[in-house]
C-alpha cells in the first residue's frame, strides 16, 4: 500500500510539474509577442489590461453611459469622467494609451512629452485620424496627463475637425488633463462623419475643449465653431471651451461661434482673455463662475440666445471689465449672488432683457457703464444692496435704471440718462441717493414708486420730457436738493409722498413748477417762466418759505381744503395767490415783472393798434365814396 501511494504521489508531482512548464512556456511566448514592435512604429508597444488610472478624473460631472461592446466594469475614472467615449487616447510622459470603450488595447512608448497630430496618427488605428491636405479630422477623444503637451498649429493643419454624433460616446473632445494643449492659427469645428456637416446643436455627442484641473490651455488666432454639448438627462451642458477648477491659460484673438455656451471659467486661476468674441451661442456667451485673477480685455459678446456674460458661483476679486455686448437674448451682463464685484468699463447695446442685471448681489461698484437701446440700462432686484453706479450713461430704451423694491442702498453718481421712454431712474427700494445725475428728454426724469423710502436727490438736472420728479403715493422721506429743471412739459416736481422736502433749486419754463399732493416743505426754491408756480391739493399742510416765483399765470394755487403756508417769499404772477393761503412774514405779492407783462401785453397792444389802423382806413374809404347831391338850378322866365 505504501509503494502504491508513493507511486500515485510521484505521478501527481510529475503532472503538476508539466502544468507549470506549460504555463511558463506560454508566458515567455506572450512576453515575446508583447515586446515585438508595432507595425509603423520604431518604438516597442506593450498591450496590457487596463491598470490603475494615472490621470486624475476630470472635475466635471459624469454623463450618461454610452453603449459598449465589452466595457470594463466601471471603466477608468478618466474614461468615465470624459463621457465614456468609444475611442480615447491618453498621452502620458512615456507612452500613448489607446482605449476602446474604456478598455486599453495598446500602449506605445514615446520618446518625448510633446506630441503632434501626426504622431497620434502613426500610433492610433487608421480610422481615428483622417489627415487631408489643409484639413485633419480627429475621431477620438484625446486626454493629456501631467507634464505632457499636445500642440496643433496652422502650419500642421489650418482646419481641425472634431468628430461627434448622436451620443456622448461619439464626441472626439480635447482634454488637457494635467498637461498643456496649445492651439494656434487654425479653425476648430465639429463634424458628423455620417453627414459631413457640423454636429447639430441638439446632439448629445457634440465635442468640446476642456482645460482640466491642473492643466493649461493656450489658444491664439483661433476660430472655434459648432462645439459644446447640450444638457443630457440630469447633467449640465458642456460649453465649447471650458477652464475647469485649478486650470489656467489664455485665449487671444479668438472667435467662438454657434456654441452651446461659448466659454466658461469654473474656478480657474489666472486665465487671460484678450480680443475674444463670442457670438450666436445657444445659451450664454461667457460664464464666469468663481474664477480668480482672470484678465479681461477686448471682449465682444453678440447675438447669443442667453446672456452675453453671466457672472455666478463663488464671489472673487476678479473685475468684470473690457466687455462690449450687443443683441443678446438676455442681459448684456447678468450678475447673480455676488459680493464685492467691480464692473466696468463696459458698453452694451440692444440686448433683449437689458444692459446689466444685479440679482441678489451686494457691495457692487459699477463704473463707466453705457447702455444704448436697452429695455433697461441697469436693473437691481432680489435683495441686492450697497450698490454704487458711477458714470453710467444710457440712451433711449424704457428705463435708465430700475431699482426693484427689495433693493436697499443704491447710490448713483455723475450719471446721465437720455431719452428714456418711461423714466430715467425708477426707485422702488430704500435708501437711494442720486448725486450729480442728469436726465434729458425722458418721459419722466425720476420716479419714486409706492413703498420706496428715504430717497435723496442732490444736484439733479432734468431737461425736457413730460415730468421731472414724481413721488408716488405710499412713498416717503424724499429729499430733493438743488434741483435744476429746464422746460419740463408738465410738472417739474409732483409729489404724493408724505414728508417730501424740496430745498433750493431752480425750475425754468414748463407747465407747473411744483404740484404737492401730500404734506411737503419747500425752501429757497426759484420758479421762473412756468405757467404756474406751486399747486397744492394736499389734505395736509404744505409749507413754502423763501421761494421766488415769477410765472405767467398763477403763482400759488391751493385747492379747497388744502392748507398752505407761504412765508417770506416773492410771488409775481397775473394771479399771485389763489385759494386760502396763510401768509407769514414779509411776502411780496404782485403782478409779474415788466418782462412778463411785456410778453403778455405787447401782443395785445400791437393788436389794438392794428385794429385801429384798419378801422381808420375803412372809415376814410367810406368818407371818400360819399357824393354830395346839389339842388337842380331853375331858370326864371322874363
Residue-wise DSSP of 568-617:
S-EEESTEEEES-EEEES--EEESPPHHHHHHHHHHHHHHHHHHHHHHHH
pLDDT for the residue 437: 99
| Confidence label for 76 from pLDDT (cuts 50, 70 and 90) | confident
Residue 541 main-chain phi, psi, to 5 deg: -65, 135
- Among 230-244, 316-330, 586-600, which stretch is predicted with the lowest mean pLDDT? 586-600
Whether 92 contacts 109, CB under 8 Å: no
**Rounded Cα distance, 490 and 207, in Å:** 60
| pLDDT exceeds cutoff 50 at 40 | no
Q: Output the CA torsion 13→18→20→23 (10° steps).
A: -160
Distance in angstroms (rounded) separating the CA atoms of residues 319 and 315 = 11
pLDDT cut 70: percent of the chain above it:
84
Residue 507, pLDDT above cutoff 70: yes
For residue 381, pLDDT beyond 60: yes
Q: What angle do CA 600, 605, 609 make, to 5 degrees?
A: 155
Q: List residues bridging with 379 in a β-sheet.
A: 357, 402
* Of 562, 480, 397, 499, the residue nearest 491 (C-alpha): 480
In the beta sheet, which residues pair with residue 161?
Answer: 137, 189
Neighbours of 52 (CB within 10 A): 6
d(CA 517, CA 565): 15
Please tell me the predicted confidence (pLDDT) of residue 44: 35
| Mean pLDDT along residues 442-446 | 99
pLDDT of residue 599: 56
Q: Is the dihedral of CA 43, 46, 52, 56 positive or negative?
A: positive
Q: For residue 14, what pLDDT is reported? A: 42
Per DSSP, 192 falls in state B
Inform me whether the pLDDT recorded for 409 exceeds 50. yes
Residue 383's SS3 state is coil
Could you tell me which residues come within 8 angstroms of residue 618 by beta carbon, excluding any fewer than 6 positions away? none
User: pLDDT averaged over the chain?
Assistant: 88
Q: Is 185 within 8 Å of 154 (Cβ atoms)?
A: yes
pLDDT top residue among 110 and 401: 401
Is residue 431 within 8 Å of residue 452, measured between CB atoms? no
**pLDDT-derived band at 623, boundaries 50, 70, 90:** low
Percentage of the chain with pLDDT > 90?
A: 78
* Tens-digit pLDDT profile for residues 343-362: 999 999 999 999 999 999 99
Q: What span, in angstroms and rounded, lies between the C-alpha atoms of 485 and 468?
A: 7
Residue pLDDT, tens place only, 572-622: 999 999 999 999 999 999 876 555 555 556 676 777 778 878 777 777 766
Which H/E stretch holds residue 122? helix 117-123
Q: In this model, does residue 451 exceed pLDDT 80?
A: yes
**Quick one: pLDDT at residue 211?**
99
Kindly tell me if the per-residue pLDDT of 71 is higher than 50.
no
Q: Answer for the pair 455, 447: CB distance below 8 angstroms, yes or no.
A: no
> What residues does 209 pair with on adjacent strands?
174, 241
Amino acid at each position: 500500500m505504501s509503494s502504491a501511494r508513493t507511486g500515485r504521489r510521484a505521478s501527481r508531482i510529475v503532472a503538476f510539474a508539466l502544468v507549470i512548464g506549460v504555463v511558463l512556456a506560454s508566458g515567455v511566448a506572450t512576453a515575446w509577442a508583447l515586446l515585438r514592435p508595432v507595425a509603423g512604429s520604431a518604438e516597442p508597444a506593450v498591450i496590457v489590461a487596463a491598470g490603475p488610472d494615472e490621470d486624475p478624473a476630470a472635475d466635471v460631472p459624469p454623463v450618461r453611459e454610452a453603449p459598449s461592446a465589452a466595457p470594463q466594469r466601471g471603466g477608468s475614472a478618466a474614461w468615465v469622467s470624459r463621457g465614456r467615449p468609444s475611442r480615447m487616447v491618453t498621452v502620458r510622459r512615456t507612452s500613448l494609451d489607446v482605449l476602446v470603450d474604456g478598455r486599453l488595447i495598446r500602449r506605445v512608448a514615446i520618446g518625448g512629452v510633446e506630441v503632434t497630430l501626426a504622431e497620434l496618427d502613426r500610433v492610433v488605428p487608421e480610422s481615428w485620424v483622417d489627415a487631408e491636405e489643409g484639413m485633419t479630422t480627429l475621431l477620438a477623444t484625446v486626454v493629456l496627463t501631467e507634464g505632457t503637451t499636445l500642440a496643433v498649429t496652422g502650419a500642421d493643419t489650418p482646419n481641425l475637425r472634431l468628430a461627434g454624433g448622436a451620443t456622448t460616446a461619439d464626441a472626439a473632445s480635447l482634454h488637457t488633463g494635467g498637461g498643456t494643449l496649445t492651439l494656434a492659427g487654425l479653425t476648430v469645428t465639429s463634424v458628423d462623419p455620417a453627414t459631413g456637416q457640423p454636429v447639430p446643436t441638439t446632439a448629445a455627442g457634440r465635442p468640446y475643449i476642456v482645460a482640466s484641473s491642473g492643466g493649461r490651455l493656450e489658444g491664439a488666432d483661433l476660430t472655434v465653431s459648432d462645439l459644446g454639448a447640450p444638457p443630457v438627462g440630469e447633467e449640465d451642458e458642456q460649453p465649447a471651451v471650458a477652464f475647469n477648477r485649478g486650470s489656467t491659460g489664455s485665449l487671444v484673438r479668438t472667435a467662438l461661434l454657434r456654441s452651446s455656451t461659448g466659454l466658461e471659467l469654473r474656478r480657474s486661476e489666472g486665465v487671460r482673455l484678450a480680443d475674444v468674441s463670442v457670438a450666436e451661442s445657444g445659451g450664454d456667451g461667457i460664464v464666469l463662475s468663481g474664477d480668480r485673477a482672470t484678465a479681461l480685455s477686448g471682449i465682444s459678446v453678440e447675438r447669443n440666445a442667453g446672456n452675453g456674460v453671466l457672472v455666478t458661483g463663488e464671489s472673487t476679486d476678479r473685475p468684470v471689465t473690457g466687455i462690449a455686448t450687443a443683441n443678446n437674448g438676455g442681459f448684456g451682463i447678468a450678475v447673480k449672488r455676488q459680493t464685492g464685484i467691480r464692473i466696468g468699463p463696459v458698453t452694451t447695446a440692444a440686448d433683449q432683457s437689458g444692459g446689466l442685471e444685479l440679482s441678489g448681489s451686494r457691495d457692487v461698484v459699477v463704473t463707466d457703464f453705457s447702455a444704448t437701446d436697452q429695455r433697461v440700462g441697469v436693473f437691481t432686484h432680489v435683495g441686492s444692496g450697497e450698490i454704487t453706479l458711477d458714470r453710467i450713461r444710457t440712451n433711449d430704451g424704457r428705463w435708465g435704471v430700475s431699482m426693484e423694491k427689495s433693493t436697499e442702498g443704491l447710490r448713483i453718481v455723475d450719471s446721465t440718462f437720455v431719452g428714456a421712454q418711461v423714466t430715467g431712474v425708477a426707485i422702488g427700494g430704500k435708501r437711494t441717493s442720486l448725486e450729480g445725475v442728469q436726465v434729458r428728454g425722458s418721459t419722466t426724469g425720476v420716479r419714486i414708486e409706492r413703498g420706496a423710502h428715504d430717497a435723496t436727490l442732490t444736484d439733479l438736472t432734468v431737461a425736457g420730457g413730460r415730468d421731472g420728479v414724481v413721488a408716488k403715493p405710499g412713498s416717503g422721506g424724499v429729499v430733493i436738493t438743488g434741483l435744476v429743471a429746464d422746460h419740463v412739459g408738465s410738472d417739474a416736481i409732483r409729489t404724493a409722498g408724505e414728508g417730501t422736502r424740496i430745498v433750493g433749486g431752480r425750475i425754468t419754463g414748463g407747465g407747473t413748477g411744483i404740484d404737492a399732493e401730500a404734506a411737503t416743505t419747500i425752501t429757497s426754491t426759484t420758479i421762473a417762466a412756468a405757467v404756474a408756480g406751486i399747486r397744492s391739493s394736499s389734505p395736509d399742510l404744505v409749507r413754502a418759505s423763501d421761494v421766488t416765483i415769477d410765472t405767467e399765470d398763477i403763482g400759488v394755487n391751493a385747492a379747497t381744503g388744502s392748507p398752505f403756508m407761504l412765508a417770506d417769499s416773492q410771488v409775481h404772477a397775473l394771479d399771485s395767490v389763489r385759494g386760502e393761503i396763510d401768509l407769514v412774514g414779509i411776502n411780496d405779492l404782485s403782478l409779474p415783472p415788466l418782462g412778463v407783462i411785456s410778453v403778455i401785453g405787447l401782443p395785445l397792444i400791437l393788436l389794438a393798434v392794428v385794429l385801429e389802423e384798419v378801422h381808420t382806413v375803412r372809415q376814410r374809404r367810406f368818407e371818400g365814396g360819399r357824393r354830395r347831391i346839389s339842388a337842380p338850378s331853375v331858370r326864371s322866365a322874363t
